[in-house]
Amino acid sequence: MATRTVYLKDVPFDEAWERFRAALKRANRWDLIEGESVALGEALGRVTAEPVWAKISSPHYHAAAMDGYALRASDTNGANDRAPVQLMDERIEPVDTGDALPDWADAVVPIEVVEVVEDLDKSPGILLRAAVHPWSNVRPMGEDMVATEMILPAGHQLRPVDLGAAAGSGHESLVVRKKPRVAVIPTGSELVPPGTLPRPGEIIEYNSLVLAAQLEDWGAAPSRLPIVRDDPDAIQSAVDEAARRFDLILLNAGSSAGSEDHSAEVVSSLGELLVHGVAIRPGHPVILGIVGDGVPIVGVPGYPVSAALTGEIFVQPLIRRWLGLTESGERQIEAVLTRKVHSSLGDDEYLRVSVGKVGERTVAAPLSRGAGVITSLVRADGIVRIPAGIQGHAAGTPVLVHLYRTPEEIERTILAIGSHDLTLDLIAQHLALRGTRLSSASVGSLGGLVALGRREAHIAGSHLLDPETGEYNLPYIRKHLATTPVMVVGLVRRWQGLIVSPGNPKGIQELADLARDDVVYVNRQRGAGTRVLFDFQISQLGLDPDAIQGYGREEFTHLAVAAAIAAGRADCGMGIQAAAVALGLDFVPLVSERYDLVIPKEHYESELLAPLRETLVSEAFASEVSELAGYDLERPGEVLAELG
């Protein structure tokens, strides 16, 4: 066993950035990156390295602004209805829009306002019933752009119309900032490429994919280099080689203090290790350094969320700096936190949140905080930064969210909470086609009702059986949502039962089997509809929870229960058939239950929910549900009850 050393020491973000910046300045790598000439057809999205001045005027001659006839305005003096003026031969010249005005002409009369006259003896002429003002329907030279005028400033990211203006003012290419060349080097003996079926301990290497895509978005030219094994010499030679060819190196993982973390030692040996550890979460084992001939290197932590955030926090500002882009024009919105959040006093914390507008309030619901949970970034609508020095925020605290989406997308987001069901994924798909997003959080049926009462979501999926009345949902709504008028809307019935290993090796047939010594159960969390159902069923049987092994281990979704069984951590768990089918497990059906949507009245009737109301009664949705194992439609979209 190797001896372990701890040398990671977190410094505050500002200090880390300042050390990096100072070192880049010393190395002459803090300036704007040099320019290169690029043809207009290739320049979309590039950043101008110098102002663009008009080389020629546009129009560069007096141009007809309409299809019609060029003429001398003075020839039309006095024309009116009673005394029309007829012009023929050399006194008119037909012109199309954009044609140069003849030297002798000073106006254009549009084709729509003249009468064409045919005269047997002469060529055709035109009849005018009103005088024409000088310079009318003429685009004078320079109307759009005058030679030497500044058309675009430096540091401007080129849009389609900018390319047109540059071409119109005489350019065929522009000097734009070179794209910074960035090497992305994945390291780790445990890494395998995407598409590989990994063995235990192996990890699919996708951080380089995410980092390269971020770099592309930000205007850099990334190169994903081959995976390097955990060998200091191999890493050192890869970095040394990259330092000769790139403007920036991202060295992924190995930045922590484990026995196979060689990044810090490689950076030290090839240059200067400036920072090893920054007081941010997630992402604190960041390395900042300079190697070779002053090339900056960022040691990016291995956890995917940490890696992506390190990109946003340390790499994006550097790329923008080099390109001469200033503020990122980041969108911010104020929202109210739905849940209490603890935060480390010593670190800046980057909290991923989903965001929606519930009534007049914009709410931010914290997502999973695990640095390994990349789906938390996929689902995130934005980030809340909780600075060091604050221990967290209470529920209801107004916070500033740095949005990943436009405020318009947030306005078109339906927040679903409560018990998760696979039909919600189908609904999400239909809503997307109708321009609306469904963002769901799984907190169990009861948690969903409570959240509706706190006005944190628009709809809640619920399958709560009242043990006393045998009624679904209504008794719970009366108790927990007494003051909120709601509609209960039908959706599906679904089979609940025991999910068991393929072939049901332990021969589990009924709940009584859970008391057996050789059977390990995996439970759902308190408040989940499935948990209520399970507790009701075992109490009917007189089965003591203490007699069930694993009763204390709680999972939060049907699929998590199924996954625990697939992984051999338990022999069975209560859940829906669809979850068993999904993971190739077997299923012992026990009871068919109702799964309804509970929707506060104010939202049910809102425009936001119109696409949901349409989806629920659509034939396409009905046919998709009928293909799911263990499901029956239960008056979908119908209002089953109105309460409050």
Q: Is residue 162 a contact point for its own copies (CB under 8 A)? A: yes
Cα distance between residue 281 and residue 378, in whole Å: 18
Q: Residue 285 corresponds to which tokens in the numbers above?
A: 């084992």
Cα distance between residue 87 and residue 459, in whole Å: 74
Neighbours of 504 (CB within 10 A): 16
Q: Angle at CA 483, nearest 5°, toward 479 and 486?
A: 85
In the range 224-283, which residues lie near its own copies by CB under 8 A?
A: 224, 256-261
Q: Is residue 150 a contact point for its own copies (CB under 8 A)? A: yes
Site string for its own copies, 580-619 (x = CB under 8 A): --xx------------------------------------
Q: Which of 504, 427, 491, 418 has its CA nearest to residue 454? A: 418
For residue 494, what is the enclosing H or E element?
strand 486-500
Instruction: Candidates 163-171, 175-183, 447-455, 635-643: pick the segment binding its own copies (CB under 8 A).
Output: 163-171
Could you tell me where the DSSP H helices lie in 498-635? 529-541, 558-566, 577-582, 601-604, 610-616, 619-626
164 or 644: whose CB is closer to its own copies? Answer: 164
Q: Is residue 385 a contact point for its own copies (CB under 8 A)? A: no
Instruction: Candidates 71-79, 480-488, 541-549, 563-571: pick the segment binding its own copies (CB under 8 A).
Output: 563-571
60 or 635: whose CB is closer to its own copies? Answer: 60
Neighbours of 88 (CB within 10 A): 14
Instruction: Candidates 291-299, 327-335, 480-488, 622-630: pick the segment binding its own copies (CB under 8 A).
Output: 327-335
How near is the Cβ of 261 to its own copies at its closest, in Å? 8
In the range 387-426, which residues lie near its own copies by CB under 8 A?
A: 405-409, 412, 425
Q: Is residue 543 a contact point for its own copies (CB under 8 A)? A: no
Q: Is residue 148 a contact point for its own copies (CB under 8 A)? A: yes
Out of 25, 434, 478, 479, point to the residue binding its own copies (CB under 8 A): 434
Out of 35, 59, 180, 573, point to the residue binding its own copies (CB under 8 A): 59
255 or 473: whose CB is closer to its own copies? Answer: 255
Instruction: Candidates 17-25, 74-82, 164-172, 612-620: pick the segment binding its own copies (CB under 8 A).
Output: 164-172
Judge whether 69 and 108 are in contact, CB under 8 Å.
yes
Q: Is residue 471 a contact point for its own copies (CB under 8 A)? A: no
Number of residues that bind its own copies (CB under 8 A): 132
Out of 28, 326, 469, 483, point to the residue binding its own copies (CB under 8 A): 326
> Angle 619-626/422-433 helices, nearest 10 degrees?
150
Out of 12, 84, 193, 232, point to the residue binding its own copies (CB under 8 A): 193
Backbone dihedral angles phi then psi of residue 540, each to the nearest 5 degrees = -60, -40
In the range 1-20, which residues lie near its own copies by CB under 8 A?
A: 1-4, 6
320 or 480: whose CB is closer to its own copies? Answer: 320
Q: Is residue 536 a contact point for its own copies (CB under 8 A)? A: no
Instruction: Candidates 319-327, 491-499, 506-514, 624-632: pick the segment binding its own copies (CB under 8 A).
Output: 319-327
Taking CA atoms, 394 is separated from 105, 338, 368, 397, in Å, by: 76, 9, 17, 6
Cα distance between residue 126 and residue 114, in whole Å: 6
Out of 38, 337, 488, 563, point to the residue binding its own copies (CB under 8 A): 563
How near is the Cβ of 62 to its own copies at its closest, in Å? 8
56 or 336: whose CB is closer to its own copies? Answer: 56
Cα distance between residue 422 and residue 512, in whole Å: 28
Q: Which of 606, 21, 620 has its CA nearest to residue 358? A: 606
76 or 214: whose CB is closer to its own copies? Answer: 214
Judge whether 37 and 175 are in contact, CB under 8 Å.
yes
Judge whether 330 and 402 are in contact, CB under 8 Å.
yes
291 or 441: whose CB is closer to its own copies? Answer: 441
Q: Is residue 206 a contact point for its own copies (CB under 8 A)? A: yes
- SS3 of residue 164 by DSSP: helix
In the range 363-382, which residues lie near its own copies by CB under 8 A?
A: 370, 372-375, 377-378
Bridge partner list, 275: 288
Q: Which of 230, 249, 245 has its CA nearest to residue 299? A: 249
Which residues fall within 8 angstroms of residue 528, CB to CB, at 6 or more apart? 419, 444, 445, 446, 556
In the range 108-147, which residues lie near its own copies by CB under 8 A?
A: 111-112, 116, 123-124, 139-147
195 or 470: whose CB is closer to its own copies? Answer: 195
Cα distance between residue 175 and residue 76, in whole Å: 50
162 or 513: whose CB is closer to its own copies? Answer: 162
Neighbours of 78 (CB within 10 A): 7
Out of 86, 97, 136, 592, point to the residue binding its own copies (CB under 8 A): 97
In the range 493-512, which residues lie near its own copies by CB under 8 A?
A: none
Cα distance between residue 415 and residue 451, in whole Å: 11
54 or 297: whose CB is closer to its own copies? Answer: 54
148 or 391: whose CB is closer to its own copies? Answer: 148
328 or 539: whose CB is closer to its own copies? Answer: 328
Kindly report whether the peptide bond that precedes residue 59 is cis, defined as omega within 30 degrees of 0. Answer: yes
Bridge partner list, 580: none
SS (HEC) of 29-40: CCCCCCEEEEEH
